[in-house]
Structure 1
Amino acid sequence: MKTYTLQDINAILNGTIVGNTDQNFTAPEQLETAKKSEISFIGNKKYEKFWKNSLASLAIVNEDVSIEPGENRAFIKVNNADLAMCQILDLFAPDLPKFHTEIHKTACIDETAIVGKNSKIGANAYIGPNVVLGENVTIYPNVTLLDEVTIGSNTVIWPGAVVRERCHIGSNCIIHPNASIGADGFGFRPCPERGLVKIPQIGNVIIGNNVEIGANSCVDRGKFSSTILGDGCKIDNLVQIGHNSKLGKFCIMAGNSGLAGSVTLGNGVIIGGSASIKDHTTIGDGAIVGAGSGVTGDISAGKTMIGYPAVEARTALKQWAILKRMATQ
């Protein structure tokens, strides 16, 4: 078990110690359930009220904290407690699943595939013709990489994920279990003789560097060219990204949200959980779409939109206030 003193923790965070404790620390935990040997966090002043009844002996706090730690308890003040929490979680993180051999004997690797130095491939993985893996790539069991896929260095692909033919994933990416990269886009047209005719989807998916794709999420291939996710995008579980959509850098999509085909997101766009974005819509840099919202038209940069259909947040709040007054009359 990993244990650290107050001084050990502060040597990592380089914060300001308030109070003192001789307790050794074995894990991080939230305030309400923390034990004496566990580190907790106060990232917002509204959580200060929970400190009095918490058993934690140490909390990482923002510099504007307005309470004192108490006897044999301590705070470490930092600029941003949430970012400091990331450092502490990394400190206590258990080891990832181990590979006893770099290439498992049951992995099926085509003779034309190129596997970079120090890359690992788990049991029953399929690595197709002309696949290229960079250095230090980790392919967990039961992953499928079809023809001509490329994977950048230091990328991790968890069990059950499928990357279809001709798709490209950058470096330092994480693809979580059962994600689908490059499935056919949803394209059909009515035909009097044949019912619904499937439109061939002949494009691919291009994913930049430092991108994370959540479990059971789908990024569909382009109809003509590429579906593109820019560097640093973070995609939650159960997200749908339709064909030919293009995401700029550092976009966030929360769980159960979805983009229809040919949606364009600028840099730093945030899509809340269960939000739906109509096809051929453009959302500008830094815009925010609230959870459960339905976007039917373009959104200018920096706007915050909520509701169904989505309107600017201030307008929606006024509308809801009027409806509430009407309901009480």
Structure 2
Amino acid sequence: MKNLTIQDINAVLNGILVGKTNQSITAPEQLELASETEISFIGNKKYEKFWATSKACAAIVNEDITIEPGENRCFIKVKNADLAMSQVLELFAPEPPQFDELIHQTATIHKSAKIGIGTKIGAGCYIGPNVEIGENATIYPNVTILDESKIGKNTIIWSGAVVRERCIIGNNCILHPNATIGADGFGFRPCPEKGLVKIPQIGNVVLGNYVEIGANSSVDRGKFSSTVLGDGCKIDNLVQIGHNSKLGKFCIMAGNSGLAGSVTLGNGVIIGGSASIKDHLTIGDGAIVGAGSGVAADVPAGKTVLGYPAVDARTALKQWAILKRMATE
């Protein structure tokens, strides 16, 4: 168990200390569950009311907080409590799973594969012909990386993930358990003789740097060229990205959302949970698709859309208000 003083934590955050506490801090925790030895967070004024009943000895708060910490309790005021929270979580993060040796003896690594210095490969992994893995990557047990794929330096691939042949993963990426990169795109055509004929998918997947793919998510390979995710994209669990889709930088897709084939997202697009995007559409830079929405037309840059089918958010809210009134009349 780690024990830090409030001064130790503030040395990292460089915030403003309000109040005093002599309590050693052992962990971060949410307000309602925190004990006297834990630090919490108030990232929104609506949560200030919970401070009085919380047992936390300290909290990271925004600069506009309107309450006082109280006796033997302390606030660290910062510009953005949510961002500061991530720094505190890093301070208290436990060590990752242990490797007793860099490359486990049960890993199967083709003789033509190139493994970077400091890379760790766990038990039961399969590394195929002509695979290239950069320096200081971490490949946890039972990962499969097939022929001619490239994995960047410092990338982490968790157990059960599969990287299919010829795919390219950038530097500092994270693939969570059972993520699949480069499965065949969903391509079939009716045929009088055979019913449905499979369309070969001969492209690949290219992930930029600092991309994170959640557990059980799939990014399908392109039919002709590449399915591409730009630098910094963050993909939640149980997300489907169809073949030949192109995502710009720093896009976010929440759980259970999906892109059909050949969808283009600009930079900084946010797709809410369970939203679905029709094939061959373009979602402009900075656009937001609300949770559960069904997008059947292009979305201009900066727009927020809601509903099924998705329309401008203000229009959707007006429609819902009218329906609510009609239901009560």
- TM-score, normalised relative to structure 1: 1.00
Instruction: State the shift of 1:7 in Å.
Output: 1.2
Write the letter of the residue equivalent to 2:242.
G
How far did residue 6 of structure 1 move? 1.5
Partner of 1:187: 187
Deviation at 1:57, TM superposition (A): 0.9
- Corresponding position of 1:165: 165
Q: Following TM superposition, by how much is the alpha carbon of 1:309 offset from its aligned partner in structure 2, in angstroms?
A: 0.4
**Structure 1 residues 19-67: Cα deviation after superposition (integer angstroms, max 9, x where no partner):** 1111110000000010000000000000000000000010000000000
In the alignment, the residues of structure 1 paired with residue 10 and residue 183 of structure 2 have an alpha-carbon distance, to the nearest angstrom, of 47
Q: CA deviation at 1:12?
A: 1.2
Q: Give the match for residue 233 of structure 2.
A: 233
User: Counterpart of 1:318 in 2: which secondary structure?
Assistant: helix
Cα shift at 1:110: 0.2
Give the residue type in structure 1 aligned to 2:287: A
Cα deviation, residue 328, structure 1: 1.2
Whether 1:278 aligns to 2:278 is yes
Quote how far apart the aligned CAs of 1:198 are.
0.4
| Displacement of 1:5 | 1.0
Which residue does the alignment assign to 2:59?
A: 59
2:278 partner letter: K
The letter of the residue matching 2:157 is: I
Residue pairs, 1:1-16, within 5 angstroms: 1-16=1-16
4+ residue runs of structure 1 moved beyond 2 angstroms? none
Question: Over aligned residues, Cα RMSD in angstroms?
Answer: 0.5
Shift of 1:165: 0.4
- Which residue of the partner structure matches residue 304 of structure 1? 304
Whole-angstrom CA distance in 1 between matches of 2:199 and 2:11:
59
Q: Which residue of 2 aligns with 1:201?
A: 201
Q: Which amino acid aligns with 1:183?
A: A
The one-letter code sitting in structure 1 at the alignment partner of 2:205 is V
- Residue 291 (structure 2) pairs with residue 313 (structure 1): no
Deviations 1:248-307 (A, max 9, x none): 000000000000000000000000000000000100000000000000010000000000
Q: Which runs of 5+ in 1 are unaligned?
A: none
Aligned identity (percent) is 78
CA distance, structure 1, for counterparts of residue 5 and residue 168 of structure 2: 45
How far 1:128 sits from its partner (Å)? Answer: 0.2
Q: What 5-or-longer segments of structure 2 have no aligned partner?
A: none
Query: Which residue of the partner structure matches residue 224 of structure 2?
Result: 224
Deviations 1:100-148 (A, max 9, x none): 0000000000000000000011001000000000000111100000000
1:175 aligns with 2:138: no
- 2:116 aligned with 1:116: yes
> Scaled by the length of structure 2, what TM-score is found?
1.00
- SS of residue in 2 equivalent to 1:70: coil
Matched with 1:328 is 328
Residue 76 of structure 1 aligns with which residue? 76
Which amino acid in the other structure matches residue 112 of structure 1?
A: S
Q: Structure 1 residue 190: deviation in Å?
A: 0.5
Deviations for 1:153-182, whole angstroms, at most 9, x for unmatched residues? 000000000000000000000000000000
Which residue is equivalent to 1:150? 150
Cα distance in structure 1, aligned partners of 2:105 and 2:257: 39
Could you tell me how far apart the structure 1 residues matched to 2:21 and 2:108 are?
Answer: 55
For 1:19, the equivalent position in structure 2 comes to: 19
Which residue type is aligned with residue 44 of structure 1?
N
Give the whole-Å Cα distance in 2 for the aligned partners of 1:265 and 1:137.
29
